[in-house]
Chain A
Amino acid sequence: MAEAVVLKAEDICKSFGSLEVLKGITLEARNHDVISILGSSGSGKSTFLRCLNMLDPPTSGKVSVHGEEIVVKNGHPADMRQVERARQRLGMVFQQFNLWTHRTAIENVMEGPIHVLKQPKAEVKERAEALLVRVGLAERMNMYPSQLSGGQQQRVAIARALCMEPDAILFDEPTSALDPELVGEVLRVMQSLAAEGRTMIVVTHEMSFARDVSTEVVFMHKGKIAEQGPPKEMFGSPKTEVFQKFIADVR
């Protein structure tokens, strides 16, 4: 039986002024899907991800979370409360981590569940501690982001997203701002999330992650999906010339 659809994007277009960045993207994420979005810079992949949680509302097209359409009128969400509810169910991990600099690691993780979901503090604290242990930061919980390495900050950011107990997590180039030797520790955490069946949409340049971890690969080119399919097929026999060239260039 097919899994339930968590997130659905239909014919998403996005323009910044006269610049057309997305030209009709349709994508569906079902429970336990791990979708890697590849593409060269400027292909619109990050913008698409930001359309999904309305950080950049689409110019046209539909985004639905669990079948509930987020209504957008004239490029602005019609009901911010609805957007906020949707965001509570969609975690997001940023390229630049964006940990709150005035809060310690564990405070960063606890902030959303306590102040947005209004969950009891003791319960949240227990969960936050377990999550930080899980991402390997048991010893660093009370440190400020500035005292942590990039890889550690990104793992805190992943714990922050997880603590909201989201239905899906959006990753916006989570390893692109990291020193090469720190990429592995973040990818390992993401891999373990995929293994436990988390629904993830990952904009990435990590070919190994796309090939070995994801259940589906989407290749974007000039604001459109150029090619899409299971990783084995995509990497085994790329159909489009642009994707063939992309793989060759990345290698």
Chain B
Amino acid sequence: MLELFSFGEAGWGDQLLQGLLVTIQLALTALPVGLLLGFAAAGASLSPYRWLRAIGTGYTTIMRGLPELLTLFVVYNGLGLLLNSIVSSWNPDARVELSSFVAGVIALGLVFGAFAGEVLRGAFQSLNKGQMEAGKAVGMRPTQVFFRIMLPQVWRFALPGLGNLWINLLKDTALVSVIALDDLMRMTQVAVRSTKQPFTFFLAACLIYWALCVISEIVLARLEKRANRGVRRA
């Protein structure tokens, strides 16, 4: 059975490894996109301006209400059409192709951002106002108060929630296999179809996804420990 997973012509080892790399690449690219969107959404929903709050709340509410798969289809098909109609109004001969990787990054980033926006909003609201006042009182600029006081402290409240979202993101990457991106899920399906060994390959995929989650949890635990420095354990 092991030869099924060997590398080279005979086995599926190299294909699965390639799929795994695509999965990891996709998740690691969608993460910063999603985090940025999350911070923007949290900032918007905490803003003193009503129209900005409306945008922030609208984004998080709508995105969280859509099935991830649907979001992916809308981005992959809809955004491609939209881009093409914009481009062709400039130059009728030009065509743009939205690659399935980019569509995956955008869709997964949008979903992550909507949920992260809510997590971060709560985290910012949990900060002690006195911490920021002490920064202002020594004459810090608003950007310094944000980057030197709020941001280091906000992770403490946000990391548990963001960690959950990251694990969801890792698993949601499997959805992009439906738009023909050769991630771990799709490579597994290809292997199953060709070898007629569903149990073996699906079990292997399970173990790989599970291993990714375990590694993530170890890293997250370390990050949380760092974010909690200086805070007394209950």
Contacts and interface: CB of A to CB of B under 8 A. Distances in A.
A53 to B, nearest CB: 6
20 contacts: A55-B133, A55-B136, A80-B142, A84-B141, A87-B137, A87-B139, A88-B138, A94-B130, A98-B131, A98-B133, A101-B128, A104-B230, A111-B148, A112-B138, A116-B140, A144-B230, A144-B231, A146-B231, A146-B232, A160-B138
Contacts of A145: 230
User: How many interface residues does chain B have, given as a range?
Assistant: 20 to 34
User: How many interface residues does chain A have, given as a range?
Assistant: 20 to 34
Interface string B190-234: 000000000000000000000000000000000000000111100
Contacts of A87: 136-139
B231 A84 contact: no
B180 interface: no
A53 B131 CA distance: 16
B139 A116 contact: yes
B134 A100 contact: yes
Given A101-B153, A115-B148, A84 B134 contact: no
B149 interface: yes
A91 B134 CA distance: 10
B159 to A, nearest CB: 13
Contacts, number: 71
B139 A99 contact: no
Contacts of B149: 100
Contacts of B144: 115-116
Interface in A77-128: 80, 84-88, 90-92, 94, 96, 98-104, 111-112, 115-116
Interface string B152-177: 11000000000000000000000000
A112 B230 contact: no
A76 to B, nearest CB: 12
A102 B230 contact: yes
Contacts of B139: 84-88, 112, 116, 164
Contacts of A112: 138-140
